[in-house]
Amino acid sequence: MTTKATTALAVKTALRGILVNASLAAVKIVTGVVGHSYALIADGIESLNDILSSTVVLVTLKFSALPPDENHPYGHGKAEQLGGLFCALSLLGAGVLIAVHSIGNLFERHHAPEWFTLPVLLLVIVTKVVLSRYVLQKSEITDSTALKGDAWHHRADAITSGAAFVGITAALIGGDGYEWADDVAALTGCLVIGYNGFSLLRTALHENMDGAPPEALLDEVRRVAAAVPEVLLVEKLRMKKIGLGYFMDIHIQVDPRMSVAEGHRVAHAVKDRLLREVPQVNDVVTHLEPFAALEIKEAKEK
C-alpha cells in the first residue's frame, strides 16, 4: 500500500469515528440527564472528548500528507506524531475531568438512575467495541500512532460504558441509598482511561523523540539490504518514524576495490530494494564503507 493510499485510509477511518461518536455522545448525555445517571453523563463527556481527538487525528493526518517544502525538507509527517501525543493527553484529561465530577457526586444525594439507561448502554457498548476493533485494525494497517490513540479512545469509552452499566444495575437493585454505585462505576472507568492514556503517552513520546522502531522491522530491513549481491555486510542502521512511514540511514560494507560508479549503483540498488520490499520505509540514505575483513586479509597477504 502506498503512502498516499495509507493516508487516505487513515483519514476515512478517523472521519467515520467522528460521525459515530457524535451520535453516541448525544444519545448518552440526553439519556443520562433524563435518566439521572451521572455515569452515563460522564460517559457522554468522554465521547465528546473522542470527537475532539478524532478531529485532531483527521487534521494532523491531512497535514502530514503535505509534500516537503523549503522549510520542511523531510515533509510534514511529524504532525501525525503530534496528533498521537494530543490523543494521549486528551484521554488523560478526560479521565481527570470525569473523576473530579464523580467524586463530587459521591457526597451529594441524587436520584437513582432510571431503568431505561441500561438498554442504551448496551447499544453503546456493542457499537464502541465494534468501532474500536475497526479503528485498531486500520491503525495496524497504516501504522498510525494517532489512529491507534483514536482506537484506544473508543475502547476506553466502551469500558467506561460497561462500568456505568454495572453501576446503574447495582443502584437499581440496591434501591434507595445505593445511588453512589453509579458514581463509583464512573470512577472505575477513570482508572481504565488513565491506564490507557499513559500507555498511549509512552508510545507518542517515543516516536516524537525519534525512538527506534520495533526490532522485527529493523531485522527485516537488514535482511532485505543484505540480499543485494554486492553487499558484504550491513554495518549500521538508524530509523525514525515521520508520519506513517520511516526515514532511515544505512551503512553497508562493500568490496574496497569497487569503483565510485559501481558503488553508486550498489547504493541505489539497496535503496530501491528497501523501498520496494519494505512498505513502511519512505526514504533511504545509503552510505558505503570498505569491507573490513577483506582489507585485513589483503594487509596480511602483503
Which of 208, 234, 254 terminates a domain? The answer is: 208
- Do 75 and 102 belong together in one domain? yes
Q: Does residue 146 sit in the same domain as residue 273?
A: no
**Is residue 74 located within the same domain as residue 180?**
yes
List 247's β-bridge partners, or say none: 240, 283
Q: Are residues 286 and 204 in the same domain?
A: no
Q: What is the 3-state secondary structure (H, E, C) of 252-291?
A: EEECCCCCHHHHHHHHHHHHHHHHHHCCCEEEEEEEEEEC
Asked whether residue 231 falls in the same domain as residue 196, the answer is no
Report yes or no: 1 and 279 within 8 Å, Cβ to Cβ: yes
Same domain, 156 and 193: yes
Judgement on whether residues 10 and 79 belong to the same structural domain of the protein: yes
Report the b/e string of 99-127 with b at 16+ CB within 10 A.
bebbeebeeeeeebbbeebbebbeebbeb
The pair phi, psi for residue 244, each rounded to 5°, is -100, 5
Q: What is the pLDDT along the chain (302 residues), one digit of tens a residue?
A: 556 677 778 788 888 888 888 888 888 888 888 887 766 776 777 677 778 777 887 888 888 888 888 898 888 888 888 888 887 888 788 778 777 777 776 666 556 667 787 888 888 889 888 988 888 888 888 777 777 777 877 777 787 777 778 777 877 787 676 667 767 777 777 777 787 788 878 888 888 888 888 899 999 999 999 999 999 999 999 999 888 789 999 999 999 888 999 999 999 999 999 999 998 898 999 999 998 765 555 544 55
Output the pLDDT for position 299. 47
Q: Please, which contacts does 156-159 make with residues 24 or more away whose CB atoms are closer than 8 Å?
A: 156/46, 156/91, 156/189, 156/192, 156/193, 156/196, 156/197, 157/21, 157/24, 157/43, 157/46, 157/47, 157/50, 157/124, 157/128, 157/132, 158/124, 158/125, 158/128, 158/129, 158/132, 159/189, 159/192, 159/193
Q: Are 230 and 246 in contact (CB under 8 A)?
A: no
**Number of domains present in the structure of the chain:** 2
Q: Report residue 142 as a C-alpha cell.
A: 497504516
Domain CATH code at residue 155: 1.20.1510.10
pTM attached to this predicted model: 0.67
72 and 165 share a domain?
yes
Domain boundary among 183, 208, 233: 208
273 and 204 fall within a common domain: no
Task: Verify that 23 and 110 share a domain, yes or no.
Answer: yes
CA of residue 116 relative to chain centroid, distance: 35
- Beta-sheet strand order (sheet of 233-242): 233-242, 245-254, 281-290
Distance set, CA 137 to CA 133, 134, 140, 143, 227 (Å): 6, 5, 5, 10, 31
Same domain, 183 and 235: no
Place of cell 551503512: 251
Contact, 294 vs 258, CB < 8 A?
Answer: no
Which structural domain, as residue segments, surrounds residue 268? 215-301
Claim to verify: residue 78 and residue 129 sit in the same structural domain: yes
Residue 237 burial by Cβ neighbours in a 10 Å radius (0-12, 13-18, 19+): middle
